Chain A
Amino acid sequence: MLLLKRATIYPQTQEKPFLGDILCKEGKIAHIAETIESDAPSLDLDGLNVLPGLIDCHTHIGLHYPDNLTALEYISECTRPVTPHLRIAHGVDPGSPYFPYAVKNGVTTVGIIPGSTNVLGGIGFASKTWGSHISEMTIRESICVKAALGENPKGFYQEKDMEPDSRMGVTFLIAEALHDARDYLREKENDSLLFKKEEMEALIPVLKREIPLRVHCTHNDMASIIEIVREFNIKFTLEHAWGSLNYLDEIVESGCAIVYGPIGGRRSFYESRRTDISAVKPLDERGVTVALTTDAPIYGLDGLIHHMEEAVRQGTPVERAMRMITINPAAILGVEQRVGSIEVGKDANFAVFQGVPGKDMGAHVTHAICEGRLGYEYAGLR
């Protein structure tokens, strides 16, 4: 049990911020009220601001040897371009120092997904950022099949003299896999299936709209994937989504979600040439579910707050930008019933801030609370 006292609560529901107490019991939020009397150990959060634990739904953390955080050894199966059935969870090391670093930055839930070398890279999962075993860290086992368009698969397999060697080659492989999986599903439903194929099985939940196809794409690649998936009526997301400002109407009409970022790189050609984070404002206004991502460890998870700040700096209202690192990514992960907002019954995960993130320059995490336990406390000067 833990009682959070006198906190300014930013619930990320329809409700406005309010002053109150939160009682955590058995890892869940048991009660929220203006004042709560309880024998539980309490934490006085007077003057501090409480958000739900932050969420980055697009990361590749824990997939490296512990001494080399930037290396991405186990992120992409680079032997062949179509591997939708591989589970990224089987490459993650719970002992990675990246997890405590996530907690320190108030990030309590992450989507860990395969990289973008493969056209169809595998199955991602939703994870807590603490724990000793992947099984106990897992919040949802299958959150998506990861796909990638553009430079990553093209560039890698080009070097290997393999298919795909061009953007038209990349998009064809996705279309082929979806068509084959649909045929496979029909045969399966007609009991006429001769052999079980894991690659095809992995795409069935996508075809049945149980999980989204999450597609690394930018600029005109966004137009490509919107065209390809149209006839399949599947759920999908556009990941990174640089250049969205040029495709606002198509994105809105397609019904997809957007996972925008990372930004902060120098201006370059190719996919990140338009760093138009100002696009998240019109997308959000027009009803698109928008999340922000650091692509950790490409950018550090300390940068999730900075991404949110930059969205604000470039026009998005603070209260909307906060949702892009809390309830919106929870919805994209399909775990919004459990995390992403401060409501009774949800996991007791909180990021406590000195200052209001997105409003005050220098707002920073003072406490991270993980299922009702103190996971991190700011020590000030070391």
Chain B
Amino acid sequence: MLFRNALVHTGTETIPDCDIRIEEGKIAELGKGLEPKSGEASVDLSGKQVFPGFIDAGDYAGATDMAYEAKDFNENSNPVVPHLDIWHSIDPDELTRQELYMSGITSVAVSPGGNCVLGGTVAVVKTYGKNLHRMTVKRDAALKGSVTKEVSRVFGARWAKTRMAMIQLLKEALQQGNYEGSYRYRRTQEVIGSVLKGKIPLIIEAETAAEMESVMDALKDLVESGIRLAFVVAFQADRAGEAIKKANAQVILGEFTHYTSMMRNEANFAALVQLAKDGVPFSIALLSEDSICGRECYFWTAAKLRQGGVDEKLLLDMMCGNPARLFGVDDRIGALAPGLDADFVIFEGNPLTQVEARVLETFIEGRSVYKAGREE
């Protein structure tokens, strides 16, 4: 299938009058002046803009149900469960029902919730489908933990009431050599080993600057030896900015508008954007303190980053390229280039600059999963 004459934002450059050839769910060719092969369908996209499918870098959509009763994203029996794999908790129907693809989000990093100090591994999956195998981009894409008050709320009676105890649990869990013998420990060793070797990032849910700083302080030896740290939700990342830069850590911004709190009200987007301009890689997530939000909020956070002065290029990188690199899936998603998955969104207008820009059609692996006005 050939898409012709669109203004294509590849993730690194913007090409006018650009054509994209899709074959077997992948981008086969991308550039100017491609001619249809015999028998190949072609669609004219003159006046339209094409973006890579966006990535929601933290969510537990699919790991619970619409009634919010399944709640398979937290294993509340123990605060340290790095051996668990969120992939086993994902229900593709429930994930699809969140309609993320209608806002142009084609991949999501489904993550354990914020209850456990180490809650399990993250899976990157597509946002539409019925078969989890086919939707999966990568399992064990990161290890997810938390040092928020949720840990204290859930495990305060027996394990960790204070942040100092959470940090201690985190440090102990990351000690190499603690794990041998049974399958449980071999699996733990495998996950922790990947973190320690810098193969996968360690993503810690933290809201305040103090939470982030205490983690970086406790793990500074590990950071020096090359573990890759990212903070998710991270409302006050700017206030921990110096430490974040020093630790080469990343920021996955959570959602700011759902439920009011002083912490969110006082978020400083100009300072957050400055931190990103200083080179700290940012991504955008629908995760928030003890909740996840609807697809609309993805662009609300983008709007707030624009309020803070982010330029188009950096914003698009936060939505596509950077999260793909963070989770080690940039060989599949996060940009438009030959060989990558044909996950893309056709827009009328430019959603990075214009509120009025509308999703016309969303494609995942070359298949139209949403078209404006089509009865689903």
Contacts and interface: CB of A to CB of B under 8 A. Distances in A.
B292 A266 contact: yes
A97 interface: yes
B335 to A, nearest CB: 21
B270 A382 contact: yes
B16 interface: no
B138 to A, nearest CB: 23
Interface in A283-324: 294, 296-303, 305-306, 309-310, 312-315, 318
Interface string A319-359: 00000000000000000000000000000000000000011
A136 B291 CA distance: 38
Nearest to A297: B260
Contacts of B265: 69, 97, 101, 300, 302
B296 A264 contact: yes
A275 interface: yes
Contacts of B271: 381-382
A275 B355 contact: no
B297 A264 contact: yes
Interface string A222-241: 00000000000000000000
A364 B66 CA distance: 34
Given A318-B356, A362-B303, A381 B260 contact: no
Contacts of A269: 66-67
A268 B68 contact: yes
Interface in B317-376: 351-358
B179 interface: no
Interface string A87-104: 000000000011001000
A264 B294 contact: yes
Contact of A268 (B66, B262, B352, B356): B66
Contacts, number: 129
A300 B260 contact: yes
Contact of B356 (A263, A266, A305, A312): A312
Interface residues of B, number: 46
B262 A69 contact: yes
A69 B261 CA distance: 6
B274 A267 contact: no
Interface string B244-261: 000000000000111111
Contact of B259 (A70, A310, A314): A70
Contacts of B303: 305-306, 309, 361-363
Among A268, A296, A312, A314, the most chain B Cβ lie within 10 Å of the Cβ of A268
A380 interface: yes
A265 interface: yes
B163 interface: no
B355 A360 contact: yes
A296 B37 CA distance: 56
Contact of B257 (A69, A299, A381): A299
A302 B257 contact: yes
A247 B262 CA distance: 38
B139 interface: no
B302 interface: yes
Given A275-B294, A380-B270, A359 B260 contact: no
B199 interface: no
B307 interface: yes
B98 interface: yes
B354 A70 contact: no
Contact of B98 (A264, A266, A363, A381): A266
Nearest to A265: B294
Given A269-B66, A313-B299, A362-B303, A381 B274 contact: yes
Contacts of A303: 257, 300
A298 B259 contact: yes
A273 interface: yes
B293 interface: yes
Contact of B355 (A69, A70, A301, A312): A312
Given A69-B262, A97-B262, A313-B299, A264 B257 contact: yes
Interface string A121-159: 000000000000000000000000000000000000000
A359 B260 CA distance: 25
Interface string B216-251: 000000000000000000000000000000000000
A314 B97 CA distance: 19
B27 to A, nearest CB: 27
A381 B97 contact: no
B353 A268 contact: no
B268 interface: yes
A54 B67 CA distance: 34
Contacts of B305: 362
B20 interface: no
Contacts of B261: 69-70
Interface string B295-313: 0110110111111111000
Contacts of B99: 267
B61 interface: yes
A361 B352 contact: yes
B150 to A, nearest CB: 15
Contact of B256 (A97, A302, A360): A302
B355 A361 contact: yes
Contacts of B270: 380-382
A269 B67 CA distance: 6
A304 B245 CA distance: 34
Contacts of B264: 300
6 contacts: A267-B66, A267-B98, A267-B294, A302-B257, A303-B300, A318-B356
Interface of B: 61, 66-68, 97-99, 256-262, 264-265, 268, 270-271, 274, 286, 291-294, 296-297, 299-300, 302-310, 351-358
Given A70-B261, A313-B357, A361-B352, 17 more contacts: A263-B294, A266-B98, A296-B260, A298-B259, A298-B260, A300-B257, A300-B260, A302-B265, A306-B257, A306-B303, A309-B299, A359-B356, A360-B306, A360-B353, A361-B355, A362-B304, A362-B309
Q: Which 9 A-B pairs have the closest CB atoms?
A: A362-B306, A297-B260, A303-B257, A364-B307, A306-B300, A300-B260, A361-B306, A69-B260, A362-B307
